[in-house]
Chain A
């Protein structure tokens, strides 16, 4: 049986490892240097500057493929924006030094209007540029990418979200406050910051940008759009555009998520519920056996396997263990094995720490979260290893014997008023 559990845990670990930081797939430089932009130019007599778009399906089942067709003014690149009606929270802590003054702004940008899905599809002949952007790795810049792809003007859906910004201060962070709410952003600044938020939320260039639109010289265009699994359910909007003003009317489709898949509202991810269910069970059992809560292993595994934000993982795993801790305290108190004085005194210090910690979670990025967590796990591994050394075990044995003795006494003295 122990073998079984161990193998479950390890297969899970391996699954986690396999899905670690995806290596940037370096594309060979075989992209033709010159795929000349559609050499066309039909007469610009087309019916003014209008663009139409249509899709071949009205609903998808947890992602899938959808074909967008339409007619645009000839000779212009066509972009397609797809976004979900469902929204979620996105935040970014700006601590990069200012280019001119070198001063770090320490401003927290936050919005609860971020579409749960946003992707911009560019003409297929931009594939080489897109590959170059992907090669930049984690440090890529969405605003620079949009400029490179000529999509600066058509980027619109997330540009309209309402962004709040807070001036963080060291003192504010210590007392667990987000800081002062700064005046609202103007339209241009809002757009710029929204790009950073899109990148902070969806992270990979692959998830936000795709090259899919094939434009014929006469203005007819066609794009095969792949909507990945695990996205938000509900209405999605598709808009084709060639520039800031020339946009099609939105066409809609519905993404359906059916049991056993469920949508996690705050995490912005749909997943098969049996995945986290089994993982939590396996990890928690293992955690009880090794005498440490499961959170240490559960959090990083959840983050490695599913595209969940670290804030949501930390904020949801924590209350999960409340019950286990409560029942543990109850069991110890029954046999009077708690020093209420000691526990409460240290507990008061820990309450203060617990007040501050969650604030800091939103100030760091997923990568920083993983990095620090990696070191925490190494320290924990060291502690665990030390607990299996002969010296520790000998001491532990002696204390276990005393513990047993106390437990016996506790059982005998059950009806006598004992002092805790």
Chain B
């Protein structure tokens, strides 16, 4: 499929993109997370698209998944309204606070911190720690 982005043309292997997106969507909706950190590498590394094409478009793709996943979870009775009303305002508030902090902090530092945190969390989930 040919995608035109700001006057540039990119050839996208839709088979890989859709298959990858499909699999990521299953896992992410099953475990209840967004899936962005997996979609972006798939499209940039897997399909060689530049980052600036990927960020917005992958968000749009993920939005479809989140919408459907939420609806299905709701259908299966996995949605807890009180719990949602606790977390939702917190998430919105965080969306306003985060950009203020983002200016003063290097994303690389955050990512390195995140790596340590993620590994620690993963080991605890696997029962190794």
Q: Which residue of B lies closest to A396 (CB)?
A: B51
Whether B31 lies near A372 (C-beta < 8 A) is yes
Alpha-carbon distance A383/B31, docked complex (angstroms): 18
Question: B26, B56, B61, B120: which contacts A346 (Cβ < 8 A)?
Answer: B61
Whole-angstrom CA separation of A326 from B92 in the bound complex: 12
Q: Does the CB pair B79–A381 fall under 8 Å?
A: no
Q: Which residues of chain B from 23 to 77 have a CB within 8 Å of any chain A CB?
A: 23-39, 41, 50-53, 55-70, 72-77
Task: For A374, list chain B residues within 8 Å (CB).
Answer: 122-126
Most chain B beta-carbon neighbours within 10 Å: one of A17, A296, A297: A296
In the complex the two chains form, what is the Cα distance from A10 to B114 in whole Å?
Answer: 10
Pick from A40-48, A62-70, A99-107, A309-317 the stretch touching chain B: A309-317
Cβ contact within 8 Å between A320 and B95: no
Q: Across the interface, do B22 and A353 meet the contact criterion of CB distance under 8 Å?
A: yes
A266 contacts B77, CB within 8 Å?
yes
Residue A356 at the chain B interface, CB threshold 8 Å: yes
Residue of A342, A356, A406 with most partner-chain B CB within 10 A:
A342
Q: Kindly state the separation between the CA atoms of A388 and B118 in the bound complex, as whole angstroms.
A: 15
Contact in complex: B83, A312 (CB < 8 Å): yes
Most chain B beta-carbon contacts within 10 A, residue among A323, A353, A388, A402: A353
Would you call A288 and B33 a contact (CB within 8 A)? no
Does A286 have its Cβ within 8 Å of any Cβ on chain B? yes
| Contact indicator A342/B25 (Cβ below 8 Å) | no
Docked CA distance A82–B1 (Å): 63
A11 to B39 CA separation, bound complex (whole angstroms): 29
A357 engages B25 (CB within 8 Å)? yes
Q: A351-B25, A376-B31 are in contact. Are A323 and B88 (CB under 8 A)?
A: yes
- Asked if A311 contacts B76 (CB within 8 A), the reply is yes
Q: Tell me the interface secondary structure of chain A in the complex.
A: helix
A contact residues around B41 at 8 Å (CB): 383
Query: Is the CB–CB distance between A319 and B79 below 8 Å?
Result: yes
Q: How distant is B85 from chain A, measured CB to nearest CB, in Å?
A: 9
Chain B residues with CB under 8 A of A314: 30-32, 73, 78
Q: Which residue of B lies closest to A3 (CB)?
A: B105
Q: Judge if A176 is at the interface, Cβ distance under 8 Å.
A: yes
CA A358 to CA B25, docked complex, whole Å: 10
Interface size for chain B: under 10, 10 to 19, 20 to 34, or 35 or more residues?
A: 35 or more
Evaluate contact between A329 and B34: CB separation under 8 angstroms.
no
Q: Which listed residue (B62, B83, B107) contacts A350, Cβ 8 A?
A: B62
Given contacts A294-B91, A341-B3, A370-B125, contact A351 B53 (CB under 8 A): no
A369 within 8 A of B: yes
Q: In chain B between 85 and 124, which residues have their CB closer than 8 angstroms to a CB of chain A?
A: 86-95, 97-99, 101-102, 104-105, 107-115, 117-124
Bits for A335-356, please: 1 = Cβ < 8 Å to B, else 0: 0111111111111111111111
Stretch at the interface among A119-127, A146-154, A193-201, A270-278: A270-278
**Does A325 make an interface contact (CB < 8 A)?**
yes
Give bound CA distance, A20 to B128, whole Å. 10
1/0 contact string of B10-32 vs chain A (CB within 8 Å)? 00101001110111111111111
Which residues of B lie under 8 Å from residue A403 when comparing CB positions?
Answer: 51-52
In the docked arrangement, what's the CA distance between A300 and B121, Å? 8
A319→B81 CA distance, assembly (Å): 11
A346→B21 contact, CB < 8 A: yes
Q: A311-B73, A342-B53, A354-B65 are in contact. List 15 more A-B contacts (CB 8 A).
A: A282-B94, A311-B76, A315-B74, A316-B84, A316-B87, A319-B84, A337-B55, A344-B61, A357-B72, A358-B29, A370-B126, A370-B127, A375-B122, A385-B115, A402-B52
User: Interface of B with A (CB < 8 Å)?
Assistant: 1, 3-7, 12, 14, 17-19, 21-39, 41, 50-53, 55-70, 72-84, 86-95, 97-99, 101-102, 104-105, 107-115, 117-127, 129
9 A-B pairs in the complex with CB atoms less than 8 angstroms apart: A280-B90, A284-B94, A288-B102, A292-B37, A315-B74, A318-B33, A346-B21, A369-B31, A384-B37
